[in-house]
Structure 1
Amino acid sequence: MSQHIIPNASELTATWQKSSASGGDGDCVEFAAHENGIAIRHSKAPNGPALLFTHSEIAAMLAGAKAGEFDHFTQG
């Protein structure tokens, strides 16, 4: 994959999805399928950049999250 940053995420013709556990204040991370992988953006900046990851990178991150490896980041 040659491009890891998409400068303007709103230019993607994609359906963005966020967790049903996210609050209604727009403070969410959104995912969208992309021809080269999975794009991720912040919901408060839909016109901002998106990062592009491969399916295997996303799978590894989600497995780590499910295993609790990132829980310490959510503790204030």
Structure 2
Amino acid sequence: MHDFENGIPATQISGVEWTKSTYSNPSGNCVELARLPGGDVALRNSRDPGGPALVYTREEIAMFLHGAKDGEFDGMVGQS
């Protein structure tokens, strides 16, 4: 079993499939997620695939996705 810490360089996470939203724009401004061995989920900036990855538990990602689907974070991308 692997133990990945927050901020680990994404290049040190091997054997996983990074997934990017189909809503990502052509310049790649998006985040990518990968399921890690053991069930945790890593998140990285698609513009910096070798940069740091944040690691969350499956439950943390599930709660975030529920909130996003319910529109709880819509104000984060509202008009400035």
RMSD: 1.4
Q: What is the distance in 1 between the residues matched to 2:4 and 2:56? A: 9
Selected match of 1:75 from 68, 73, 78: 78
The number of equivalent residue pairs is: 75
Which structure 1 segments of 5+ residues have no match?
none
CA distance in structure 1 between the partners assigned to 2:4 and 2:44 by the alignment: 15
Inter-partner Cα distance in structure 2 for 1:70 and 1:58: 14
1:38-60 deviations in Å (ceiling 9; x for gaps): 00000011111000000000000
Tell me the distance in 1 between the aligned counterparts of 2:37 and 2:4.
Answer: 12
Q: Report the alpha carbon displacement of residue 3 of structure 1 after superposing the two structures with TM.
A: 4.8
Gaps in structure 2 of 5+ consecutive residues: none
What is the TM-score with the length of structure 2 in the denominator?
0.85
The secondary structure found in structure 1 opposite 2:33 is strand
Paired amino acid for 1:71? D
| Runs (4+) off by over 2 Å | none
Deviations 1:17-49 (A, max 9, x none): 011111111111100011240000000111110
CA distance in 2 between counterparts of 1:75 and 1:15 reads 31
What TM-score do the two structures reach when normalised by structure 1? Answer: 0.89
2:27 maps to which residue?
25
Sequence identity percentage: 40
